[in-house]
Structure 1
Amino acid sequence: LGAPLAAAAATDLQPPPDLFDSQALDLDFWVKPRTLSVTRPASGERASVLYWKDGEVIDSAYEQLCHLLRDVNGKATAKIDPKLLEMLWSTQAFIARYGLLQPLEILSGYRSPASNARLREAGIPAARQSLHMVGKAADIRIAGLNEEVLGGLIKSFRGGGVGYYYRSGPRGGWIHADTGLERSWKG
């Protein structure tokens, strides 16, 4: 993976000073080591992965995150866009600054075309040309954080698309985050 991956992982995301003024003053935020803590409810996996340190992506950690964001149902793994990992880490790191230290729940990461088609056939929201199928999207939630706040934070990065999926019940809804065109929608 080496230098090309490290270059791709250099974030284009900027702290959203309109939402989190204290971050605009934290010059070390974008250069400190990056650990992404995730859970996968569908598989029962939990992990905290240090994937970026000293300005470089750690190749073995990147592979571990690709595995964690795999298609759990279709049992397929793909390369995950490093910019998506940056978006997820930035979200988690910003929220942690305010005392919410929950892992990201990854409901869906990479999806094989067959898995995406099965979702569509079952009437579950899945775009025909979903960015999940190319490793550029994740459906996430964070316990204790509502969809408006989580989606608003991700949207403020201006790094791609944000879908708000509101659901009632104990687990609530989720946010779709991707590294495609900047846009937002409610599903």
Structure 2
Amino acid sequence: MTKQNSGLTRRGLLGAFALTTVAAAPTYANAFGLLRGAGDVRRIKMYSGRTGESIDTIYWVDGKYIPEALDEITYFMRDWRTDTIKRIDPRTVDIVAATHALLDVDESYMLLSGYRSPQTNAMLRRRSRGVAKHSLHMKGEAADLRLQDRTVAQIYRAALSCRAGGVGKYTHSDFVHMDCGPVRTWGA
């Protein structure tokens, strides 16, 4: 009996899996330590009520980001108002994924805002004093999220426990802001 090589490697198979699921080195030890229990696989699940799109993808396997999966996440988190794209910082994705793991839910996040073009940020600033002039959304380093099965306070506490980046609680608007900027909090 001869052994045939199918040409598929584990990495290739996982990469192909990541490419079909649309819908760096660690930099924040606390957030990433929470993800290690997942067998060194990191996954993100989100949907957008604005575009009707969803994403459920593995973006990290065996200590490495999957570039194609990060590209899918970047496209998903684009500024839907202007249809412009900016690379989403993987550290933000890691904070979002670590927070989701802590919340122990299968539900996808609802993405309210990922990348924002300067035009969109300026328009939102004119409508609300809660929008920062130099928002990290414009750098692809922030996400505003909600879950139906968890309160804003629960999501906020989980994100805080990662001790990585900024976490803002917007109770009246029903979302939590997470970013990979300096560690800070607001809305507590």
Question: For this structure pair, what is the TM-score category when the shorter chain's length is used for normalisation?
Answer: 0.7 to 0.9
The correspondence for 2:30, drawn from 14, 20, 28, is 14
1:162/1:178 contact within 8 Å kept:
yes
Pairwise CA RMSD: 2.2
Q: Which has the larger radius of gyration?
A: 2
Q: Please state whether the residue corresponding to 1:114 is helix, strand or coil.
A: helix
- The structure-2 alpha-carbon separation of the partners of 1:157 and 1:151, relative to structure 1 and needing over 3 Å to count, comes to same
Paired residue total: 165
Contact kept in structure 2, 1:16 and 1:156, CA below 8 Å: no
Counterparts in 2 of 1:39 and 1:124: CA distance versus 1, 3 Å: farther
Normalised TM-score (structure 1): 0.81
> Share of identical aligned residues, percent?
32
Instruction: Tell me which residue corresponds to 1:29.
Output: 37
Structure 1 counterpart of 2:114, which letter? G
Structure 2 CA distance, aligned partners of 1:160 and 1:74? 27
- Report how far residue 182 of structure 1 moved: 1.1
After superposition, give the CA deviation of every residue in 1:154-182 in whole Å (9 maximum; x if it has no partner).
01111111111012xxxx61001111111
Aligned partners of 1:124, 1:71: CA distance in 2, in Å? 20
Check whether the contact 1:110–1:133 (CA below 8 A) recurs between aligned residues: yes
Of residues 103, 117, 121, the one that matches 2:126 is 121
Structure 2 portions without partners, runs of 5+: 1-23
Structure 2 distance, partners of 1:110, 1:48, is 18
Residue 158 (structure 2) aligns with: 153
TM-score, scaled relative to structure 2: 0.81
Give the CA deviation at 1:15. Answer: 6.0
Name structure 1 gaps, 5 residues minimum: 1-5, 18-22
1:44 equivalenced with 2:52 (yes/no):
yes
